[in-house]
Structure 1
Amino acid sequence: MTDIHELTVSEQALHVRKRELSPVEITRHYLSRIERLNDRLGAYVTVTEEDALAQARSAEQRVLRDTPEDLPPLCGIPVPIKDLDMVAGVRWTWGSAVYAEQVAPLDEDFVAELRAAGAVLIGKTNTPEFGMACHTDNDVAPPARSPWDLTRSAGGSSGGAGAAVAAGLAPVAQGSDGAGSIRIPASVCGLVGLKPTRGRVTAAPVRPDLIGLSTTGPLARTVTDAATLLDAVAITRPGDYFPAPALPSGVRFRDYAVGTADALAPGAVGEGPRRLRIGRFAESPVPDAPTQPEVRAAYDSVSHLLEELGHEVVDIEVPLAPEVQNHFGTVWAAMATRYPVQPEDEQRLRPLSRWLRERGRGLSATEYLDATHQLQLAIRAAMTRMDEYDAVLTPTLAQLPAEVGSFSADGDPVAEFERMTRFTPFTVLANLTGQPAISLPLVWNPGPIGTTLMGRFGGEPTLIALAAQLEQARPWHGRRPPIWNA
C-alpha cells in the first residue's frame, strides 16, 4: 500500500471508513516522521504523543463500533494546531521564551470543533514570537524551514504548519492569518493556503475580534483538503463582531471543490463552466518593493492559464494607496501590546517584539483610532474598485523565498520590519478588506511560487471552485520536496 503520508486527507478518511487503515496506524506513522525529521525542519514546538495516541485509540473504537455514515468527517486524521492558539492542557508558548512553559487552560472553540469532527490533535506548530513576523524564528524552537530548500525560511507566521504539511509531518494543518500568515508559508512551501472571509471562524471563547484582521484557516496539499478543514472549523458564536454570510443549508465548502455544489456551474445544459471576470495587478502596493521577475513570470503564467480556461482577465490599478501601509503599521504595533509581559521580562523578547511593543505603547487613543479610520476609508475605496470582479489575482509574495535568518540578521528591528514589508506587500489587502484569499502552487521555478486569488466578501464558494478548476488544469499534488522520502 502507498505510504500513509502520500495520501490526501480525503483518501485517509476513506480508508478509515473502509477499515483499511486504523487511526492508531495513521497517528503512529506521523509521530514517527516527526521524530525523524522535525529537528531539521522546525515544524513542531510541542508534540503531544500520548494524548494523540489516546485520541487515535478512541477514534479506532468508534470506527469499529459505528457505521461509516455515522463517523465524523475527520475521524482519526491528525491535525496540528498553531502555537498561538489554545489546546486545553497543552504547552502554549506564543513563540516566546517568556511563555515557554505556559499551559493552555481550555480549547479554542474551533479546536473543540476539530475534536467533534474526529481529528487527532497531534501537536503545536512553530510560530514567530506573538505571530508578528513573516518568518518563523523564535527563542523556543529551531527556525521553521521550507522542505524544498532547508536554507530557506518556511515563512510565517504559520511557518511550522506549512513545513509540517509540505514535508509529510501532517496531512493538513490549522494556521492563522493576520497579514498573510497562512498564504506566505503556503507560497514558500508549495501548498494551498486559504484565508477565509472575516468572521467565518470565531475567535471565541477569549480572543477579541479587534478590527478583524486575523482569522483561522487551513494549509493543505489539495484544494479539497483545505475546504474539508474549513468545513470543520467554520463556526460563529453569539457576540462575534463580524459573522460571515452562511452557506446554503446542507452545503459544505468541500462540495465546491469536488463539484457537487459547483459555484462555476454552467448556466444551461451543455455549457462549459461559468466565465468569470478576474481583475489582476502585480505592481506592489508598497513603495520600493518591486516584484521580482520570477514572481512576475509566475503571475503572468497563471493569468494565461485562467484565459485558457475561458475566464476574462483584466488589468486593474493597485486598489490601495501607499500611505495605507503606515496606518497598518500603527495598528500592527498596537496589537503587539496585547500580550502581557512583565517589565523585567521585556528584555527577554526578540528585538522586533520589543520595538513593536514600544511603538504601540507610545500611541495615543486618538492616533490608534485615526489609523483604523484611515484604514476603513481605504477599505471602502478598494472594495468599490474590486467589486465588479469575481476574483482578483496577485502574486502571493513579491520575492522568492528568503534565507533563514535573513530578515533579522543585523538585529535591527526597524530594518527587519521594512524587509518584511517589502517581502509581503500583497498579502495584507485581504486582511484589511476581510475578503477570502487563497494561495495556490501553480508555478515552480524550480521551487514553488505561490499566486493568490481574492474573492468577494463571503465568496469562498466561487474561490474554492475556481481553485479546484486550476488544480485540475495544472496539478501539483505529485510534487515532493527532497526531504519527503528521507
Structure 2
Amino acid sequence: MFELHHLSAQEQADWLRRGDITPTELASHYLERIERLDPGLGAFTTVTGEAALARAAYVETTVSRAVALWGLPLGDKDLSARAGVRTTYGSRLFADFVPEESDEIVRVLDEAGGVSLGKTNAPEFGMPSYTESLVAPPARNPYDTTLGAGGSSGGAAVAVAAGLLPVAPGSDGGGSIRIPAAATGLVGLKPSRGRVPANPGFASLGGLVAPGPIARTVADAAMLLDAMTEGGPYQYATRAPSWDGGALLNAAVRGEGRFEIGVMTTSPWDSAYDITIAPEAWAALDAAVNELTVLGHGLEELALEPDDTYGPAFRTIWQAGAANIPAEREQLDLLEPLTRWLVARGRELGARDLAGALTTLTQFERSVIRQFSRVDAVLTPALALTPRPVGWYDQVDAERNFEQQVQYTPFTSFANVAGLPAITLPVAVTDAGLPMGVQLIGRPGGEHTLLAIGAQLERRFAWQRRHPPQW
C-alpha cells in the first residue's frame, strides 16, 4: 500500500509546492509514524509535535515556496541546540538542558523552510561511532533491531531508514554521517571542509567536523546539502566553492561523466590495529567495481603509503577534543566511561603534544591529497564489518572500545583529517538482509563528482526502492 513516506524527499517537496499536500498534513503523517514506531527504534530523544505543527502552519502561510526545503519535515541532531527545546548532547550532564539560542545550522535549515519534528538520537557529545548512551535508548537498526545503527548521527539515520523523516541533517567528525548511513542502507555525504558556511569545521579541533545530509537517494542528499550550503555568507577563507545555485542537485540528478577511480582497501590504521574486511564488505566493493566498469569508468588499484604517525596523532586530537567538555569534580561521575576516559586523557595532554599532533595531521592531509591527485575519486568499503550488535562495544575498557571502533570503520576518519568530501552508497544487501555499502572520496570541493557517480550507481542498484521489512 502506498504511503507518503514511500516518496523520495524530492518528490515530497514537489507535492508540497504543487499543493498536493500541505506542510501540516505531511508533518502530521510523520508525527503519527514517530509516535507509533519510534519506541522500538530510538531514533528521537525529543519529539516536538505541537511546535512542529505550529511551524508547519507558519510555513504554509508566511514562508515563500521558493525556499529549498519548503514545508519538508526534518530532525535536529541532538548535538545541535534549538532554542526552547531540550538538547541533551547525548549526556546525562545535560539531561534537562533547554538552550536559549539555536545553533547556526538549525537557523539555516529553518530559513530554508524546514519543519523540525524534534531531536534525533546521538551518543555522548558525539564522541563514539555508535549511538548508545545512558540518557536515551539505543538507536536500533530498522533492518534488525538487535543491531546498532552506528553513530554519531545514528538517530538521524534510523529516522530516515524507517520512514520517520524524509531526509535528515547530521554531522561528521570521523565518519559520523557515513557510518550510520552505511549501516542502515542510506546515502550519507560528508562535504569538504568549509563547504557548509554554518559550522564549516574550522572551529573544531583539527578542522574535523562537517555538517551534511543523510538521505534515501543521492538527489535527496544533494537537495539537503544545497540548502545547507545556501546559508552563507562565508566567514572563513576556504578552498571549497561557495553556493552555486543548486548545482549539486543538478549533478546528482543528471549523473553524467566518466571518471578515473582508485580502488583502495588499505587504511591509515593498518599498522596500529588488526583490520579485517568481512566477506560482506568485500562483496559490496566487488559489486560496485563491476558496475563502475560496465559504466565505462577507469579503475585502478590504489594503496595508501604506510604512515605510523596517523593513529597516535588522531587519538591525541580525539582526546584533546574531549578536554573542554564542561564537567568538573562530581559532574564527571555523570559521564559515561568512554567519555570520562577521553576527558581525563585530554586534560593530561600538554601544548607540545597537541601541537605535534596537529602538525602531523596537516602533513598527513597534504600527503593524502598528493597520493589521490591522479584520480577523480577513491572507492573503499564503507565499513569493514557488518552492523554491530547493540551492546557490542566494551563499556569498561576504553582502549578496547577505541580499537573496536577503528576495526568497524577504518576507512572514514582520514577523510575528515584531509578535509575531503566523502559519500557512502548502499550498493549491496547481505544474505541476512542487511545493507552494506561503499565509500567514494573526492578531491577538495569535489562533491559534484561524487554525486554524479553516486547517481549512476543508484540507477544500477535501485536502492531507493529498498525499505526495512517491518517499517
The TM tier, using the shorter chain, reads over 0.9
Q: 1:117-157: CA deviations, max 9, x gaps?
A: 11101111111101000110111110001100100000000
**Alignment gaps of 5+ in structure 2:** none
Go from structure 1 to structure 2 and tell me whether the alpha carbon gap of 1:88 and 1:319 turns closer, same or farther (over 3 Å shift).
Answer: farther
1:244 positional shift: 2.2
2:213 aligned partner, one-letter code: P
C-alpha distance in structure 1 between counterparts of 2:121 and 2:225, whole Å:
21
Q: Is the 8 A contact 1:62 1:71 kept in 2?
A: no
Q: How do 1:62-81 residues align onto structure 2 when only pairs under 5 Å count?
A: 62=62, 70-81=65-76
Corresponding residue of 2:228: 233
Does residue 111 of structure 1 match 2:106? Answer: yes
Change (3 A) 1:241 1:143: farther
Q: 2:405 pairs with 401, 414, 420, which one?
A: 420
- Verify: 1:246 aligned to 2:234, yes or no: no
The CA deviation at 1:14 is: 1.2
Give the equivalent residue in structure 2 for 1:17. 17
Matched, 1:443 2:428: yes
Conserved 8 A contact 1:209-1:241: no
Once the two structures are superposed, the pairs formed by residues 314-393 of structure 1 within 5 Å of their partners are: 314-319=300-305, 321-393=307-379
SS in 1 for 2:84: coil
Q: Which residue of 2 aligns with 1:61?
A: 61
1:267 alignment partner in structure 2 = none
Structure 2 Cα separation of the partners of residues 106 and 204 of structure 1: 15
Distance 1:71 1:380, change over 3 A: closer
Q: Which of 441, 446, 450 is matched with 1:454 structurally?
A: 441
Structure 2 counterpart of 1:434, from 411, 416, 419 = 419
Q: What is the Cα deviation at residue 251 of structure 1?
A: 4.2
Residues in 2 aligned to 1:73 and 1:251: alpha-carbon distance in whole angstroms: 9
Q: Tell me the amino acid that sits aligned with residue 347 of structure 1.
A: D
- In the other structure, the counterpart of 1:282 is 265
The Cα of 1:320 is off from its aligned counterpart by 5.6
Task: State the percentage of identical aligned residues.
Answer: 46
Any conservation in 2 of the 1:200–1:236 contact (CA below 8 Å)?
no
| 1:472 is the counterpart of 2:467 | no
Shift of 1:319: 4.5
Where does structure 1 lack aligned partners over 5 or more consecutive residues?
A: 265-273
- Aligned residues of 2:428 and 2:435 also touching (Cα < 8 A): yes
| Aligned-partner Cα distance in 2 for 1:207–1:392 | 24
Q: What is the CA–CA distance in structure 2 between the aligned matches of 1:208 and 1:42, rounded to whole Å?
A: 30
TM-score by length of 2: 0.95
Q: CA deviation at 1:207?
A: 8.9
Contact 2:120/2:155 (<8 A) preserved: yes
2:194 to 199, 224, 246: 199
CA RMSD of aligned residues (A): 1.8
Give 1:451's aligned amino acid. V
Preserved contact between residue 276 and residue 312 of structure 1 (Cα < 8 Å): yes
Q: Which moved more, 1:234-243 or 1:129-138?
A: 234-243
Q: Which residue of 1 aligns with 2:129?
A: 134
Contact 1:84–1:93, Cα closer than 8 Å, also in 2: yes
Whole-angstrom distance in 2 between the partners of 1:345 and 1:369: 29
Matched, 1:125 2:110: no
Task: For residues 101-122 of structure 1, give each alpha carbon's deviation from its aligned partner in whole angstroms, at most 9, with x where no partner exists.
Answer: 1112222222212111111011
For the 8 Å contact 2:10–2:220, the answer to whether it is kept is yes
> For 2:113, what is the secondary structure of its paired residue?
coil
Instruction: Render the CA deviation track for 1:350-409: whole Å, top value 9, x for unaligned.
Output: 000001111100100000110111111122111101011100000111111100010135
Q: Write the mapping of 1:266-305 to structure 2, written as runs, cut at 5 A.
A: 274-287=257-270, 288-305=274-291
Q: State the AA in 2 paired with 1:277.
A: E
For normalisation by structure 1, the TM-score amounts to: 0.92
1:269 maps to which residue?
none
Q: Which amino acid aligns with 2:260?
A: R
Give me the whole-angstrom Cα distance separating, in 1, the residues matched to 2:224 and 2:215: 9
Distance verdict in 2 for CA 1:207–1:80, change over 3 Å: farther
Deviation sequence 1:462-485 (CA, Å, 0-9, x none):
11111111111211111110231x
The 3-state SS of whatever aligns with 1:80 is: strand
Secondary structure of 1:333 counterpart = helix
* Residue type at the aligned position of 2:420: Q
In the alignment, is residue 178 of structure 1 matched against residue 161 of structure 2?
Answer: no
What is the correspondence of 1:33-112 to structure 2 with a 5 Å cutoff?
33-62=33-62, 70-112=65-107
Q: Name the CA distance, whole Å, in 2 between partners of 1:203 and 1:337.
A: 24
Query: Could you list the per-position Cα deviations for residues 33-64 of structure 1 after superposition, in whole angstroms to 9, with x for gaps in the alignment?
Result: 1111111111001111111000111122248x
SS at match of 1:378: helix
Superposition deviation, residue 211 in structure 1: 2.1
Q: Is the 8 A contact 2:201 2:207 kept in 1?
A: no
For the Cα contact (< 8 Å) 2:138–2:390, is it kept in 1?
yes
Using the TM superposition, name which of 34-43 and 282-291 deviates more: 282-291
Q: Which moved more, 1:207-216 or 1:183-192?
A: 207-216
Separation (CA, whole Å) in 2 of partners of 1:210 and 1:316? 29
Partner of 2:60, secondary structure, is: helix
Equivalent residue number for residue 271 of structure 1 = none
Alpha-carbon distance in structure 1 between the residues aligned to 2:200 and 2:369: 30
Paired amino acid for 2:371: R
Distance in 2 (alpha carbons) for counterparts of 1:40 and 1:319: 44
Q: Quick one: distance in 2 between partners of 1:312 and 1:208?
A: 37
Are the equivalent residues in 2 in contact too, given 1:320–1:382 (CA < 8 A)? no
Equivalent runs, 1:140-179 vs 2, <5 Å: 140-179=135-174
Residues 432-485 of structure 1 deviation map (CA, whole Å, 9 limit, x = unaligned): 11110000001111311010001110011111111111111211111110231x
CA contact (8 A) 2:382 2:409 kept: yes
CA shift at 1:307, angstroms?
A: 0.7
